[in-house]
A = this chain, B = another copy of it.
Amino acid sequence: MFTELIRPRFLETDALGHINNNTYGVWFESARDPIFHIFMPKVDVKKWNLVMAHSSFDFLKEVFWGKEVIVKTAISKIGNSSLELCHAVYQDGKLCTTGKCVLIHYNFETKESIRIPDNIREELEKHLFTISWFTSLNELEEYIKSSKN
């Protein structure tokens, strides 16, 4: 599982006083950086090989400016050429937003999906996490700790 600490930005709030819904996709994109690096160890936008096919969001609790947020990212499914990721936003230790997305390993020149190679697949499998998100960050951390033992 990947962990990213994010300090909400003031412009990410809206006139309702909380973080605007469109922000979570931005945070999740940022939280996927380690996944991008598994597929593209050398950063080179011209060799980009992932494309998003689907994304979804569930908004459970409001998030506010002024307190850090923890974004947890895990891999929930590994297909032939596709990958399902799940994301969770915690603030004050509580689950606020969850998200999923499907990425396709893709050749932008031939416009075709490509099988995920075995070495990448092995790396990805280390981050598989197939249970539901805990509503409490503490419980999630406990679970992760215990499952490592």
Interface residues of A (CB under 8 A from B): 7, 9-11, 13-18, 20-23, 25-26, 29-30, 33, 43, 45, 48, 51-59, 65-67, 108
Q: A53 and B59: CB pair below 8 A?
A: yes
B29 touches A22 (CB 8 A): yes
The listed residue (B17, B30, B51, B53) touching A9 by CB distance below 8 A is: B30
Cα–Cα distance between A140 and B20 once the two chains are bound (Å): 31
Question: Does A29 lie within 8 Å of B10, measured CB to CB?
Answer: yes
Chain B CB count within 10 A is highest, among A53, A56, A108, for A56
Report how many copies the assembly holds: 4
**Contacting A54 at CB < 8 Å: which of B9, B11, B33, B59?**
B59
Rounded to whole angstroms, the CA-CA distance of A82 and B48 in the bound complex is 34
Name the distance in Å between A17's Cβ and chain B's nearest Cβ: 5
A65 to B67, CA, bound (A): 26
Give Cα distance in the complex from A37 to B58, angstroms: 24
Whether B9 contacts A29 by the Cβ 8 Å rule is yes
Contact yes or no, B66 A43, CB < 8 A: yes
